Amino acid sequence: MAAMSKTTLTISSKNYSSWSLRGWLLCKMAGLAFAEKPLPSSDPSTRAELLLLSPSFLVPCLTHQGIAIWDTLAIAEYLHELRPEAGLLPAGRAARAHCRAICGEMHSGFGNLRSALPMNLKAHHAGFKVWAGAQADIDRVLAIWRDCLATYKGPYLFGELSMADAMYAPVCTRFLTYDVTLDAAASAYCRRIMALPFMLEWAAAAQAESEEVEELDVEF
């Protein structure tokens, strides 16, 4: 009998890649054992992803039992089918629809936030000036968080950890990096996400990463 294909997750920089973080968190939250397959920052697809130069990215990519899944929402839905007991989607139909809606919004929107506040876990820009376009995106994210935390009573967006928390986790890192002013509930949510063991593991690896992308390390 042929050996089963090895499960791998192809990712790019742990310091800069918000999409890699999302895919990695989803796999961890699902309890899926996998090997990381990092791509160097010099790889063309990696640079396109990190610098927002392409509308479609091939990273992260989950390879499981010979199946390759490279879109983050597709990875989330695949893992939910594979490990429904992990609770990546809430149990109730209305909550599942709500979760999918806000995950879709993060997946396809917030372009101003992405470009103005790129993920960079090693950096901290105290007193960072947020321009109006990015502030509108920030306000929308905070509105989503307030609605979810009030509706589902926390401590995470849908009560228990879900794919929504994985999708919004990189935003928590951005808010810290760029010293974004948050209300008490949003600040507590960010601290809760950043204190997750998986997030601590990722952040430590990001700090140890030697590669730098000059365009993302400019002085703001």
Distances (CA, A) of 26 to 32, 76, 95, 219: 9, 6, 18, 32
CA distance 163 to 76: 7
Q: Is residue 114 part of a domain?
A: yes
Q: Is residue 220 part of a domain?
A: no
Reading the block at residue 57, the tokens are 């990215």
Query: In terms of domains, do 93 and 67 share one?
Result: no
pLDDT over 60 (residue 48): yes
pLDDT over 60 (residue 216): yes
Query: In terms of domains, do 52 and 142 share one?
Result: no
pLDDT over 50 (residue 3): no
What's the total number of domains in the chain?
2
CATH number at residue 119: 1.20.1050.10
Residue 112 has what pLDDT?
Answer: 94
pLDDT over 80 (residue 214): no
CA distance 119 to 109: 16
Reading the block at residue 10, the tokens are 């192809």
Q: Is residue 129 part of a domain?
A: yes
Mean pLDDT score, 159-164: 98
Contacts of 148 (CB under 8 A, 6+ apart): 98, 102, 157, 158, 164
pLDDT over 60 (residue 220): no
Query: In terms of domains, do 95 and 81 share one?
Result: no
Query: In terms of domains, do 81 and 100 share one?
Result: no
Residue 121 has what pLDDT?
Answer: 96
**Nearest CA to 19 among 53, 63, 42, 50?**
50
Q: How confident is the model at residue 212 (pLDDT cuts 50, 70, 90)?
A: confident
Chain length of the chain: 220
Q: Is residue 133 part of a domain?
A: yes
Query: In terms of domains, do 71 and 122 share one?
Result: no
Query: In terms of domains, do 105 and 130 share one?
Result: yes
Residue 47 has what pLDDT?
Answer: 66
Q: Is residue 3 part of a domain?
A: no
Residue 206 has what pLDDT?
Answer: 95
Residue 210 has what pLDDT?
Answer: 81
Query: In terms of domains, do 122 and 198 share one?
Result: yes
| Cα atoms found within 13 Å of the Cα of residue 43, Cβ hemisphere only | 17
Partners of 156 in beta bridges: 159
H/E/C letters for each residue in the chain? CCCCCCCEEEECCCCCCHHHHHHHHHHHHCCCCCEEEECCCCCHHHHHHHCCCCCCCCCCEEEECCEEECCHHHHHHHHHHHCHHHCCCCCCHHHHHHHHHHHHHHHHCCHHHHHHCCCCCCCCCCCCCCCHHHHHHHHHHHHHHHHHHHHHCCCECEEECCHHHHHHHHHHHHHHHCCCCCCHHHHHHHHHHHCCHHHHHHHHHHHHCCCCCHHHCCCC
pLDDT over 90 (residue 59): no
Q: Return mean pLDDT, the chain.
A: 91
Q: pLDDT digit string (tens) for 178-198?
A: 999 999 999 999 999 999 999
Residue 41 has what pLDDT?
Answer: 72
Reading the block at residue 109, the tokens are 């929107």
Q: Is residue 193 part of a domain?
A: yes
Residue 2 has what pLDDT?
Answer: 39
Query: In terms of domains, do 17 and 49 share one?
Result: yes
Domain that holds residue 37: 8-85
pTM for the model stands at 0.91
CATH number at residue 59: 3.40.30.10
Residue 1 has what pLDDT?
Answer: 34
Q: pLDDT digit string (tens) for 62-116?
A: 999 999 999 999 999 999 999 999 999 999 999 999 999 999 999 999 999 998 9
